[in-house]
Structure 1
Amino acid sequence: MSAGGPPTGDGRRLWELDVLRGFALLGILLVNAELMAGPDTVSGGGPGAPAPDRIAAWLVSALVATKFYLLFSFLFGYGFALQMRSARHAGADFAPRHLRRVLGLFGIGIAHAVLLYPGDILTTYAVLALVLYGLRGLAPRTALRLAAGLVAGLGALLLGYGLLIVALTDPAAVGEHAPRAADAVAAHRGGPAQVPAEHLRELPSAFATALLYAPNKLAAFLVGLAAAKTSLARRHGRDRAWLRRVVVRWLPVGLAGGVLSACCTDGPLDDRWFMVGKAVAVLTGPALAAAYACGLLLLLDVMRPAATGFLAAAGRMALTHYLTQSLVLAWVFTGYGLGLYDRVGSAAVLLGCLVLYAVQLALGARLAARTRYGPAEWLLRTITLARRPGRPEPAGRSVSHPADEPKSVA
């Protein structure tokens, strides 16, 4: 099953990006599910929790957290370059298109944050997309240098702050587990009116966290932009020797960093080391994200066509799947539905995520066989183009071939 649209010179490249995006959905789901399930789930329940829950939370921290949103951010930057190219081919002015897209993405993100999950990433992407527009003229090498500087700067800031906490905090004063706010737990389990009200109370903290880690996301945007300008996917996406070198070089670095980070954030080190762990994750997360991406591309030749088709179909409709994940998780954990907030262990959440992801892949493939856009992609594309997708451009503009219109990477 082909999910990449009509064949073009870029057809395989876009299809491979869809596969990566579909794969990244799993990592985003695992992290968001832990956060939406409640503080006990994020931490694995503390030292007294069952071993499966502590192991599950530790593994998500080591292997997933901060890695998959970097992959999504890289694809967003890559897609930004494709959107510029699409507008040029269509004879359209890119700036109005981009502004409409940003406003649409921001609006969807605000609704998502208030109604479903205050840790929404779409609003951050929308704001950073404006910054990326201002940096669109950077040469690839300059963009990569700026990206490296942003990651190094944020990592140094977090590491310095973390080491100060370690040095100045009395170990005897460190609690084993942060106390839960009973009112917040009750609000999440409360009625449909209480849930968005609680989300609104959490938004300032969520936005502050998003602002802190914004340089990391912008760096991934810039790497994606540089990759698109140098046609990296077309030149190396099927180059097995190059892909293997990336995996061999960066997988050990990423795994070592993930293990050290998880030791700091999820034990055995105490809470004083939390920010040090976050710094390590920022500095080494890109290595593991790159190894994951190149490793998956290496596997494409041995994977069954149906499996890659499922991933590609999910990647084509990543925004719809992302919002659907939040909708299901909100129904499970909040007062919208089952109200299981802070009542489910990490292992059960992890297993549930795998089931949900499998269902999404199956249903997404069926939807992709019937239509080109998912509901959220259709809405965002309508806002971006200021017309319904598939309708001709206004008079005076040339109409590009459908294959020239890149898939959404939001």
Structure 2
Amino acid sequence: MVDVIRGFALMALFLVHMMESYELYWAAPREDAIIHGIFLLFMGKSFSLLALCFGFGFFALMRGAAARGVDFSGRFIWRLIVLAAIGSLHALIYRGDIIQLLALLGLMLPLFHRVKSNQVIVAIAAAFLLQPVLWVQFAAIFLGGGPGEAAGAALAGGDPAMPIYLHGNFGAVLRENLVDGQIAKWAFLLHSGRILQIAGLYLVGMVLGRIDFFGRLSANGRARRIALVAAVVAALATHFAVAAMSHAAVPQFLSDDGYRLLSVIVGGWFDLAVTAIWVLLLCELWLSRAAVLLIPLASVGRATLSLYILQSLIFVPLFYPFGLGVYDDWDSVTRLWVGLCGIAAQLVVARLWFARFRYGPIEWAWRSLTYLRTDIPLRTTQSRAG
């Protein structure tokens, strides 16, 4: 089930990247019905689903190690250091890499693993998801200026790296992504509240593992459906709240910076509500006859790291001017069809790969570096022989 969610999240994130032309869309954004629909359904939700699965994956690793009588905390930290290094290399090609973020924020998980009370963990997760830092910045603006103005200005400001991406050669893009591009990315993650959002979702995923949520789907159907209704209501309420804030009544008592911050906060809650909807809908489908349609996503979910990096290696040179430069040639319909064909290809490749191999290629390398071993079997036949 978790592999299915992870695979769905990766394919959704891929569609968002295709609509964004791997960030070049934001140089001159022209939203239409297709782009609006993809962004509404998946932007901010796909990486949230991955964060939720990351927290669950941490729990599964720790539980498995505990069953063997091993403390995995130190090894997990080393595992994240390796992952951060992989993400840093990937970020040279695509500045928007999220592997770095997931790895570095994951360093907090061993600390919270020692907290035994699920209620305490949920309370801390809720505090993160309420975005206290953004509320402090909003209050500073509302009360007459202060540090919150810097956050509002950062959300409204342009991207200093975009001229390089639009006109630079491959070497210039690499240099930009090495330092300045990363600074801009991390500033956006901080001012948009995504860092706290991912931290909160990590903890939620860990608690879902502790209560065996995905292992007891048949037993918690009623509670799950109630949660689905609540998530739909929350999504509708926050969506219309963001829409209402664009009317003239709000700017009368809020500055532009304050309006932007408030929109980010409420918009983040909308993303969380839709994330919950996707999880609960996938669970319902998994228990129905439609489960057969979800099974191919499990193979994609097992190779998330490899496919995520492969997507960038193919499509960044395709979109960027140092390669084919089709970012301003393809309209949204073309990008959508290419994206859907790319999803179909990844489903087929993943299925064929796991017919012969136990791990994705980069997953295998990551596992080998985690344990500092080279004899970890990759082929399925090796596993059977062992």
TM-score where L is the length of structure 1: 0.77
**What corresponds to 2:6 in structure 1?**
21
Pair 1:133-2:118 in alignment: no
Q: What SS does structure 2 have at the residue aligned with 1:120?
A: coil
Q: What SS does structure 2 have at the residue aligned with 1:278?
A: helix
Change (3 A) 1:62 1:43: farther
1:228 to 209, 213, 217: 209
**What corresponds to 1:69 in structure 2?**
47
1:357 deviates by 1.3
> Structure 2 counterpart of 1:233, which letter?
F
Pair 1:203-2:182 in alignment: yes
1:370 deviates by 1.3
Change (3 A) 1:263 1:194: farther
> Structure 2 counterpart of 1:122, which letter?
I
Give the Cα–Cα distance (whole angstroms) in 2 for the partners of residues 19 and 154 of structure 1.
33
Pair 1:333-2:312 in alignment: no
Q: What SS does structure 1 have at the residue aligned with 2:317?
A: helix
Tell me which moved more, 124-133 or 341-350: 341-350
Give the Cα–Cα distance (whole angstroms) in 2 for the partners of residues 161 and 320 of structure 1.
43
**Do the aligned residues in 2 keep the contact of 1:109 with 1:120 (CA within 8 Å)?**
yes
**Do the aligned residues in 2 keep the contact of 1:22 with 1:312 (CA within 8 Å)?**
yes
Tell me which moved more, 238-247 or 16-25: 238-247
Q: What SS does structure 1 have at the residue aligned with 2:358?
A: coil
CA-based RMSD of the aligned residues comes to 3.2
Give the Cα–Cα distance (whole angstroms) in 1 for the partners of residues 90 and 51 of structure 2.
18
Question: Could you report, residue by residue, the CA deviation over 1:158-183 in whole angstroms, capped at 9, with x for unpaired residues?
Answer: 755787899xxxxxxx9xx98787x8
Give the Cα–Cα distance (whole angstroms) in 2 for the partners of residues 351 and 165 of structure 1.
48
Give the Cα–Cα distance (whole angstroms) in 1 for the partners of residues 102 and 71 of structure 2.
21
**What corresponds to 1:5 in structure 2?**
none
**Do the aligned residues in 2 keep the contact of 1:313 with 1:365 (CA within 8 Å)?**
yes
Change (3 A) 1:206 1:370: same
Question: Could you report, residue by residue, the CA deviation over 1:62-92 in whole angstroms, capped at 9, with x for unpaired residues?
Answer: 2222112111111101110111122223443
**What corresponds to 2:64 in structure 1?**
86
Pair 1:354-2:354 in alignment: no
**What corresponds to 1:31 in structure 2?**
16
Question: Could you report, residue by residue, the CA deviation over 1:214-273 in whole angstroms, capped at 9, with x for unpaired residues?
Answer: 1110000001111111212222366433332222221232244345547879xxx99944
Q: Give ranges in structure 2 of 5+ residues lacking alignment.
A: 146-152, 378-382
**What corresponds to 1:7 in structure 2?**
none
**What corresponds to 2:276 in structure 1?**
290
Higher relative contact order (CA 8 A, sep 6+): 1
**Do the aligned residues in 2 keep the contact of 1:37 with 1:340 (CA within 8 Å)?**
no
> Structure 1 counterpart of 2:111, which letter?
G
Give the Cα–Cα distance (whole angstroms) in 2 for the partners of residues 305 and 358 of structure 1.
17
**What corresponds to 1:55 in structure 2?**
33
1:380 deviates by 1.0
Give the Cα–Cα distance (whole angstroms) in 2 for the partners of residues 42 and 247 of structure 1.
37
**Do the aligned residues in 2 keep the contact of 1:78 with 1:224 (CA within 8 Å)?**
yes
**Do the aligned residues in 2 keep the contact of 1:253 with 1:287 (CA within 8 Å)?**
yes
**Do the aligned residues in 2 keep the contact of 1:44 with 1:56 (CA within 8 Å)?**
no
1:57 deviates by 2.8
Q: What SS does structure 2 have at the residue aligned with 1:135?
A: helix
Give the Cα–Cα distance (whole angstroms) in 1 for the partners of residues 125 and 64 of structure 2.
25
**Do the aligned residues in 1 keep the contact of 2:134 with 2:261 (CA within 8 Å)?**
no
Aligned residues: 356
**Do the aligned residues in 2 keep the contact of 1:41 with 1:346 (CA within 8 Å)?**
no
**Do the aligned residues in 1 keep the contact of 2:285 with 2:291 (CA within 8 Å)?**
no
Pair 1:383-2:369 in alignment: yes
**What corresponds to 2:309 in structure 1?**
323
> Structure 2 counterpart of 1:144, which letter?
V
Q: Give ranges in structure 1 of 5+ residues lacking alignment.
A: 1-15, 46-52, 167-173, 392-401, 403-410
Give the Cα–Cα distance (whole angstroms) in 1 for the partners of residues 356 and 41 of structure 2.
35
Which structure 2 residues correspond to residues 246-285 of structure 1 after superposition, within 5 A? 246-258=227-239, 260-261=241-242, 272=256, 273-285=259-271
Structure 1 stretches of 4+ moved >6 Å: 161-166, 177-181, 262-265
Tell me which moved more, 218-227 or 125-134: 125-134
Pair 1:120-2:97 in alignment: yes
Change (3 A) 1:102 1:19: same
1:208 deviates by 2.0
